[in-house]
Structure 1
Amino acid sequence: MSETSDFFERLAAACQDPRFSKVRGSVRFDIRDGGRLEQWLLNIDHGQMRVIKSGGPATTVVKVSAQVADAMARGEVNGLAAITRGEIIVDGDLALALRIGRLFPRASGRPDDPDSGA
């Protein structure tokens, strides 16, 4: 299993994140590894999170390579920096995509502080 899959499995097990208590929306991650596409769908409803492996519709779609996604899951790549470099393409609500970036660990291995920037 990839680091990205491990990340989404842990997120699915958590089911809730109080930092997202005022957030409603959905984000689909389209993760490419060569010719293979892996899709994860994250639905957020006021802090309640549901994560499934699915290519279903979402208000925001994040397109990223497997290598960049794994690096983000390890806390080695900042999502905003990757967007700026063109390594991540966001279709839909950019603010939601940036906020979701807080779920990923930082180099210290911890998710971002809710009061810090994306």
Structure 2
Amino acid sequence: MTEAIEQFFATLPARAPQVLRAPLTGTLRIDLADDGRTEHWVLRMRPGAVDVDQGPAEADAIWYSSVDLFDRLVTGRAHALAALFRNESTFSGRVMLFLAFRRFFPPAPDTRDPREVAREKVRRTR
């Protein structure tokens, strides 16, 4: 497990009030594979809160990923939905849990809000 992944999971409870605003409740298990071993992270999500635990557990949804891919996700070098579409990871269960969870991932480095880019362009043309 990389330090970035460990830190990512450690910060989830503090970040949950800003990220998990939808009325969604459920358990997401993230299975991270590396060299024939699999680590299980269990996230119990509810509006404004998430509890993080480790170990195999029953879940409403399961997301399987390599450690390498997940490290790229938590550092903004990859996108979760794109990884699923490219079959780099797999998901089963309640898709809304995945869609809510992916909001925890940071944007790619140097990514800017398109609304701010448009505002700057308008200011330059005045």
Structure 2 length-normalised TM: 0.78
**Could you report, residue by residue, the CA deviation over 1:26-69 in whole angstroms, capped at 9, with x for unpaired residues?**
10000000111111111012222101112111100000001100
Report 1:4-15 matches (<5 A): 4-12=5-13, 14=14
Matched, 1:80 2:81: yes
In the alignment, structure 1 residue 20 sits paired with structure 2 residue 32: no
Q: Percent identity at matched positions?
A: 29
With over 3 angstroms needed to count, the CA separation of the structure-2 counterparts of 1:50 and 1:109, relative to structure 1, is farther
Aligned CA RMSD, in angstroms, stands at 1.9
* Residue 19 of structure 1: how far off its partner (Å): 3.5
What number of residue pairs does the alignment pair up? 109
When Rg is computed on C-alpha atoms for both structures, the one with the higher figure is: 2
Q: Counterpart of 1:68?
A: 69
**CA 1:77–1:15: 2 relative to 1, 3 Å:** closer
What are structure 1's unaligned runs of at least 5 residues?
111-118
Gaps of 5+ in 2: 112-126
